[in-house]
Amino acid sequence: MRGCLPEYEAVNTPSTFIWGQHSEGKAITVTTSTIDDTYNEITKWRKNTFLVPYGKTGKDHIDMAQSISMIGTIDLICDIFR
């Protein structure tokens, strides 16, 4: 009969699975509920209200942010903005 699936045995989704390995060799396991929750959160994110700079302004912004992050100490950052 067209449009009908053949008989099959349902397979249960595992509750946890191996995501990868830590550098020490220990397995990283993740629950399917964690994946489901993360998916539900991500798909409900709203578009960012603020525009991200682009073009020369964006490049200058990224360069400045990198410069600040390379300074390394809060005291030096505070001195720059005084």
Rounded to two decimals, what is the model's pTM? 0.37
Residue-range domain boundaries for the chain: 9-44, 53-82
For 14-54, the pLDDT digits (tens) are 788 888 888 888 988 888 888 888 888 888 777 767 777 77
pLDDT-derived band at 9 (thresholds 50, 70, 90) equals confident
Judge whether 68 and 81 are in contact, CB under 8 Å: no
Check pLDDT > 60 for residue 74: no
